[in-house]
Amino acid sequence: MSNAVLEPFADHRGPLTVEDDFLVLDDTIEQADFTEPVLGDEQGCLASVLMVQGMYCAACADTVESALQGVPGVRSAQVHAATRRLVLHWDPAQTPLSRLAQTVGKTGYRLLPLKQALSISERLAETRKALWRLFVAGFCMMQVMMYAWPAYVAEPGDIPADIDQLLRWASWVLSLPVVFFASGPFFSNAWRDLKLGRIGMDTPVSVGIIVTFVASSAATFDPLGPWGEEVWFDSLTMFVFFLLGGRYLELKARDRTAGALDHLMNRLPQMADRQQPDGRFETVSVRRLVVGDVVRVQAGQVFPGDAELLSDGASVDEALLTGESEPVLKRRGESLVAGSFNLAGAALVRLTQIGAQTRFSQIVALMEKASTEKPRLAILADRIAAPFLVLVMLAAAGAAWYWWQIDHTKALSVAVAVLIVTCPCALSLATPAAMLSSAGALARGGVLVRRLQAFEALSRVTAVVFDKTGTLTHDRLVVSGWRVRDGVDRTALERRMLAMTGGSLHPVSQALARHLEGRELEAVPELQEVAGQGLLAQWSDGARWRLGTWAWCGLSPADEPLGQGASPRVHVADASGWLATIDLSEGVREDAAQAVAALKALGISTHLLSGDRAHAAQGVAARVGVDHVVAQATPEDKLAHVKALQAQGWRVAMVGDGLNDGPVLAAADTSFALGHAAPLAQAQSDFVVQGGAVMDVVNTLLLARKTLQIVKQNLLWAAAYNAVCVPLALVGWMPPWLAGVGMAGSSLWVIGNAMRLTKATNPSKG
């Protein structure tokens, strides 16, 4: 299908139909938002991340996966129940994506691009349907309870038979919309699963609803028949209402747990104002923008791509990248990043990177991989859930048979209660709900989680290994001290030094230029830079200045006023000799010592691995308080040291930022990449600390421990709930309506407990 045919769909502003979805999925321009090539063994295949609409549990995820298995062109399909995301590896040469969407559609689910699925219109439509069903069930339940109440409080014979029968008929009529409308999702999901030869979580619920309604209807039509005189319309409508209420609250809660991730990933605008050659602006889809386009971004809007600022200035919120909400003032010519907010006034920018090449897209890719991963505990729970449902059906049948021998009027309510109360929803949600809540909280604070499984590993860490440069220190030198010859005008000295260093890319020159920024500079007619030595300047007054090593400046070691030390130094000299000496040092991150002290307080051993010289590494270690130092370490040495620690029983977290940290980041039990780390370092790490704050490592570790506590609480609750409620249902002490309350309540408790983590933006205080 050609892009020309699909062009009208690219800028579609309204809600799309199902047929439109298939066209959008096959549009290569639209696919760029949710599809990327797969490298390695699956070269030639594409990987797409789509939202599965209509699912809510582990059994639903299993159904979608099973529908795609064995389909020509499908290499793998994995669905995450908590986020409803499908990760699909497929071969475009064998099948179009629309055909795979149709295959999933036959099972009752709908595949949507993430931006469309997360759009306001889609969310409102889904919420509106859920509220209508809940309203119908609640309204009818109250009316049925009103008609059933006299039978509970009246003595035998108080209600005439004709009035009693009239109340039953009224209850039956009011139960019809509950069964045939409000309960629709239960029946459609159960029927879909049965057609595929599976038992889903809605199967026992649907069986319970149908059996209760049929038996109560039979008793209403023929009070003297084999089903007796008992009717359960009140229990039926009540547990449907509670189940729908639980599902609705669960939906909203899950939106909140994964909402932080969804909000960040859906941050870019759909449309942008592009400047035309005549200076006018046209509104176009951001997918139609190309590098070099000039775009106008209004106050409160998001920059659609990485860009260069053309306006005089702009106030920008870059919290997505740094975790800091303080506005950043940008000047003309400075760079802007996609996904950041323009806070004040319209800004004119020229796009330098768009689409997958932007920093924002790299962040989204990291977050998508995390949100589609199944943690080990969640996989185990999903495996338990499927056979558990079979046992539920067998237990309900056994209970019905047993009670039929004793009291056939009670057999129905016991069987229905067992079917409803034993739904394993809470078990399946226990782990992913907690981990996604934590991932969302960290994302708001500028820490991206690449692997949800890393929470479990991080919670058990006993040793943290740091790289030095760019991790505990800034990746640049800073001026730490001055010594100037007596009688030298320091102001004039600084002006000339700024002129000499301003055009050099050497780290020492850049450190001096940053330190002297803002001072007036004196024009230098001639300037020469000699690699490895320093700078030579010829001034208009005839003076010749040298800036660099003591040898370059013509000084002997004895001439150096402070002697030779471990810290890097740069000297300035003229024809008469020494003028000044400037001490330089690696700028230790402001919170490095605090972070190391916090780790020690938690009983965690700290190590520093550096390729730098011993005195430099030991100096940084002493300043921040690290216990163990290994200097002049090659990447192989770092890897060997981490493996040696692991062999001794330590659980190691590695914190680094450079290309040479890739192997050791991958080998550690869990790992962090700090700041704008090299792509390889980010690819091998479990957590990416956007702002570069070392304390974020500590806070993430504390949150990981709290997350595992919540997971254990959720799993314990799910187990305890079934251990208590199943026997109560089997012995007939739990009516169907109470079983519905218990089933909904258990899932809500798990979600609510996990939601406590969404507020843990600073775990060290929580």
Catalytic residues: 467
DSSP at 502:
T
DSSP at 356:
G
Cα distance between residue 509 and residue 505, in whole Å? 7
DSSP state string for 254-320:
HHHHTHHHHHHHT-S-SEEEEEPTTS-EEEEEGGG--TT-EEEE-TTPBPSSEEEE-SSEEEEE-HH
Contact 742, 721 (CB under 8 A): yes
Most distant CA atoms of the chain, gap in Å: 123
Q: How many CA atoms lie within 13 A of 342 on its CB side?
A: 29
DSSP state string for 127-153:
HHHHHHHHHHHHHHHHHHHHHHHHHHH
DSSP state string for 8-42:
HHHT--SPPPHHHHHHHHH-HHHHTTTEEE--GGG
Contact 766, 760 (CB under 8 A): yes
Cα distance between residue 566 and residue 549, in whole Å? 14
DSSP at 72:
T
- Measured from the Cβ of residue 103, the count of other Cβ atoms closer than 10 Å reads 16
Which of 422, 405, 424, 404 has the alpha carbon at shortest distance from 413?
Answer: 404
Sheet holding 569-574, edge to edge: 473-484, 577-588, 569-574, 544-548, 534-538, 526-530
Q: Torsion-angle region of residue 444: left (phi > 0), alpha (psi -120 to 50) or beta? A: alpha
Which of 208, 264, 271 has the alpha carbon at shortest distance from 416?
Answer: 208
Query: Which residue spans within 38-191 are E strands per DSSP?
Result: 46-53, 74-80, 85-90, 110-113
Helix (H, G, I), strand (E, B) or coil at 46: strand
Query: What is the C-alpha R_g of the chain?
Result: 33
Place of tokens 């996604």: 436
* Cα–Cα separations (whole angstroms), residue 640 to 644, 648, 663, 683, 721: 6, 12, 10, 20, 47
| Strand partners for 313 | 331
The rounded Cα 660 to chain-centroid distance in angstroms is 27
Helix (H, G, I), strand (E, B) or coil at 448: strand
Which of 302, 239, 291 has the alpha carbon at shortest distance from 268?
Answer: 302
Which of 243, 237, 245 has the alpha carbon at shortest distance from 174?
Answer: 237
Contact 629, 617 (CB under 8 A): yes
Query: Which residue spans within 109-256 are E strands per DSSP?
Result: 110-113
Quick one: which H or E segment has residue 172? helix 161-177
Cα distance between residue 573 and residue 555, in whole Å? 8
